[in-house]
Structure 1
Amino acid sequence: MKKYDILLVGGGLYNGVIAYYAAKAGKKCLVVEKREHLGGNIYCEDMEGIHVHKYGAHIFHTSNKEVWDFVNALVEFNRYTNSPVANYKGEMYNMPFNMNTFNKMWGVRTPAEAKAKIDEQKSAIIGEPQNLEEQAISLVGKDIYEKLVKGYTEKQWGRDCKELPAFIIKRLPVRYTYDNNYFNDRYQGIPIGGYNELTDRLYADCDVELGRDYLADKEYYDGLADLVVYTGTIDEYYGYKFGKLEYRSLKFETEVLDEENHQGVAVVNYTDRETPYTRIIEHKHFEYGTQPKTVITKEYPVTWTEGMEPYYPVNNEDNQELYRKYAELAKAESSVVFGGRLGEYKYYDMDKVIESAMNKAGELGLR
């Protein structure tokens, strides 16, 4: 008889949900995590009494009431509303693109005036957009594209917008209202006390091994449990048999500033091409902090190479084709489940990760 029912490879949100339901079902779990902490990319570090989002801004938002009820049964959420600001060479614009943005950009005051301006600029693109630049202009017009989309996107993907496929920007939110709430979802907020509160509750009943590489000792770990739930990169699991999937990575520069309020908002996007970072996060604003000092993080997109943290799958056609080959192998596994952003090579928001894990817990008979 094996020591554990389930071996959870990776200590992020996906496995946290599996762990929670497994414990309720009386199952014994072991978590093996490569980093020195649980929580994956939602992990928070305490600096100056501020919960610092170590791996970039994480704002919980969802329209799925079941997911919202699930997380709120574990921790209390505040009423934080995401209202980022874009900085283009010192000009400040509200995001997402709304009447405040259009008024600042063109001096228009009514939705009809704004729509007429965008429609006029959109008409420059005739026929099916051939690349991301044409797709963006066909959605929001030339001015908004050039000031608020182009530079940011090129930094994010590390290549010219003309070289990026149109499908990367299927839609850009355009609102003809004076509403700076970035998300359309019914619910949003940040856990009071930071995301570690949520992580601690999800993994409360597990045995945990931190700083351990499952793949380096796979045979040993596989011998400990009947089922493996793997949330690492799927191509690495199979020894890059068909080749490596592509990712974008991030570099963070965090500093403590001896001032109470640095930028007046949690997130400022830098949309010009020349500024090397894509955004500055001021963490205290996520929880309405009044601490005497503040902590900011500059976020730099970088090309992923082996050994770096993979953050964003590059979901172009070549990578999707490669992923499908690995997914076929995964389907044939009887005692391994692949989940989460890296295991499924999919860009997931937090609520979608939870939803996916809840569904999988159901399939596994845990809920």
Structure 2
Amino acid sequence: MFDWLIVGAGFAGSVLAERIASQRHESVLLVDRRSHVGGNAYDCYNEAGILIHRYGPHIFHTNSQSIVDYLSQFTQWRTYEHRVLAAVDGILLPIPINLDTINRLYGLELNSAQLEEFFASRRETVEDVRTAEDVVVSTVGRELYEKFFRGYTRKQWGVDPNQLSKSVTARVPTRTNRDDRYFSDSFQKMPAGGYTRMFERMLDHPNIKIMLQTDFREIRDEIPFNRLIYTGPIDEYFGWQLGRLPYRSLRFEHVTLDQEQFQPVAVVNYPQTEDYTRITEYKHLTGQQNARTSLTYEYPTDIGDPYYPVPRAENEELFKRYEALGATCPDVWFVGRLATYRYYNMDQVVGQALATFARIQKSVPEWASAGKASLAEGAL
């Protein structure tokens, strides 16, 4: 009998496993379908000895000191400020759009005040900003929307930006200075030994047992447990009984080249050309020295593991119905990007997991044994 079964060994599940094991001194069984811990943040050394991110680049950034303090128990950090270029009209330009982006694209010499006037002269008035397209055209105008955003968004999501929630592009700032950092958070660093090593240290506790390549649906009736934390897709937990929630997936093409460097920054976006959305070169992220270099090409798709909830009104409505079902299940906590149908950064998932643990501490007596029967109610 385990006190807790946790489904999913990504950030949400691993943080909660560590907190329950170390602070409540209760037993945890952590299961994951994949052959490794770390979820999408998993990294590993390839055949060339280069540390790569198997599921695309993960750059840690946050403004929360408490989240930094928590994770720092399990890793040291390497300072890294993420910079991204976009291949637009045959030129590599900084993204998010800043002063250098506009000056180089149009051959201008604007200052910050003049750039604000430039944007103001091109903005479209949108009375009710509802879609991803509305956000961009009302900020920088139609031409920059077409050059930088429309093609990338269509590739990423498989639909036009005017069919997507404004949240898709609201995350991307526009700057009138020369700050070319992709993020502006106060803390921007990478785990010095990689994400996987950080997860392994987090989960190195005698109260935690890990079962990989294990499907929750196959063991839920075979292994006794008292309480459940579920970080997988919420519609799958309920056997898709209300219909399937749409997710976008990614196909990754990993390549190693016999040259020291391929591109000037870690990530180059391709909003206008090519079938892939971006190319990542990992040595920029890790600071590794190697005569060869490793890249990942990303191809968005509807087929494969769920990565991104698709932000459309009808999908949010369906999720709310699943969320209501989840509220009827005693002793089950739904946590993380897939279980709450939200796009979260890594620090936000850690914060959500720590907040969930705080609620558990308030509501669940330690060493209580309520039995497992109620967990199956409402679930198929």
TM-score relative to the length of structure 1: 0.93
Asked if 1:51 is matched to 2:47, the reply is no
Q: How many residues align?
A: 358
TM superposition shift of 1:170: 3.3
How much has 1:54 moved relative to structure 2? 0.5
Closer, same or farther: CA 248–6 of 1 in aligned 2, 3 Å: same
- Aligned residue number for residue 196 of structure 2: 196
Give the match for residue 332 of structure 1: 328
Q: Which residue of 2 aligns with 1:212?
A: 214
Distance in 2, matches of 1:43 and 1:263, equals: 23
Secondary structure at 1:251's aligned position in 2? strand
Contact persistence 2:84–2:95 (CA under 8 A): yes
CA shift at 1:90, angstroms?
2.3
- Aligned equivalent of 1:262: 262
CA distance in 1, matches of 2:227, 2:130: 45
Q: Is contact 1:33-1:210 (8 Å) kept?
A: yes
Q: Contact between 2:165 and 2:313, CA under 8 Å: does it hold in 1?
A: no
CA distance in 2, matches of 1:168, 1:61: 19
Deviations 1:36-61 (A, max 9, x none): 11110000120222210111110000
Query: Normalized against structure 2, the TM-score is what?
Result: 0.90
Do structure 1's residue 358 and structure 2's residue 354 form an aligned pair? Answer: yes
* Offset, 1:105: 2.1
Shift of 1:127: 3.1
In structure 1, distance between residues paired with 2:336 and 2:126: 39
**Alpha-carbon separation, structure 1, partners of 2:130 and 2:238:** 35
The 10-residue stretch of structure 1 (137-146 or 40-49) with the greater mean CA deviation from structure 2: 137-146
CA distance, structure 2, for counterparts of residue 326 and residue 240 of structure 1: 9
Q: What is the match of residue 20 of structure 1?
A: 18
Q: Deviations over 1:51-77 (max 9, x none)?
A: 101111100000011001111222011
Deviations 1:296-331 (A, max 9, x none): 000011124xxx200000121111111111111111
For 1:40-119, list aligned pairs within 5 A: 40-47=39-46, 48-106=48-106, 107-119=108-120
Report SS of the residue matched to 1:155: helix
More displaced stretch, 293-302 vs 94-103: 94-103
Deviation at 1:286, TM superposition (A): 0.3
Distance 1:130 1:64, change over 3 A: closer
- 1:129 Cα offset (Å): 4.6
DSSP 3-state at the match of 2:361: coil
Q: Which amino acid aligns with 1:105?
A: L
Query: What displacement does 1:133 show?
Result: 2.8
**Aligned counterparts of 1:75 and 1:125: Cα–Cα separation in 2:** 48
User: CA distance change for structure 1 residues 200 and 167 in 2, over 3 Å: closer, same or farther?
Assistant: closer
Distance in 2 between residues matched to 1:89 and 1:254, nearest whole Å: 26
Would the aligned equivalents of 2:164 and 2:311 in 1 still touch at CA under 8 Å?
A: no
Report Cα offsets for 1:10-59 as digits up to 9, x if no partner. 11111111111112121111111101111100001202222101111100
For residues 1-367 of structure 1, the aligned pairs below 5 Å read 2=1, 4-25=2-23, 26-47=25-46, 48-106=48-106, 107-122=108-123, 124-129=124-129, 131-170=131-170, 172-205=172-205, 206-221=208-223, 223=224, 225-272=225-272, 274-304=273-303, 308-365=304-361
Q: CA deviation at 1:216?
A: 2.5
Q: Deviations over 1:114-159 (max 9, x none)?
A: 111111110x445335643343111112232121111111111112
Structure 2: runs of 5 or more not aligned: 367-380
- Between the aligned partners of 1:210 and 1:160, the Cα distance in structure 2 is 38
**Once the 2 structures are TM-superposed, how far is the Cα of residue 165 of structure 1 from its aligned partner?**
4.4
Q: Which moved more, 1:167-176 or 1:178-187?
A: 167-176
Q: Report the AA paired with residue 298 of structure 2.
A: E
User: Hey, what's the Cα distance between the residues in 2 that align with 1:56 and 1:88?
Assistant: 22
* Higher mean C-alpha deviation, range 349-358 or range 174-183: 174-183
Q: Aligned partners of 1:50 and 1:213: how far apart in 2?
A: 30
Offset at residue 166 of structure 1 (A): 4.3
Unmatched segments (≥5 aa) in structure 1: none
Whether the aligned pair in 1 keeps the contact of 2:60 and 2:189 (CA below 8 Å) is: yes
Q: 1:174 and 1:242, CA in 2 relative to 1: closer, same or farther beyond 3 A? A: same
| Greater mean alpha carbon deviation, residues 20-29 or residues 134-143 | 134-143
When structure 1 is superposed on structure 2, of 8-17 and 85-94 the one drifting more is: 85-94
Contact 2:165 2:311 in 1 (8 A): no
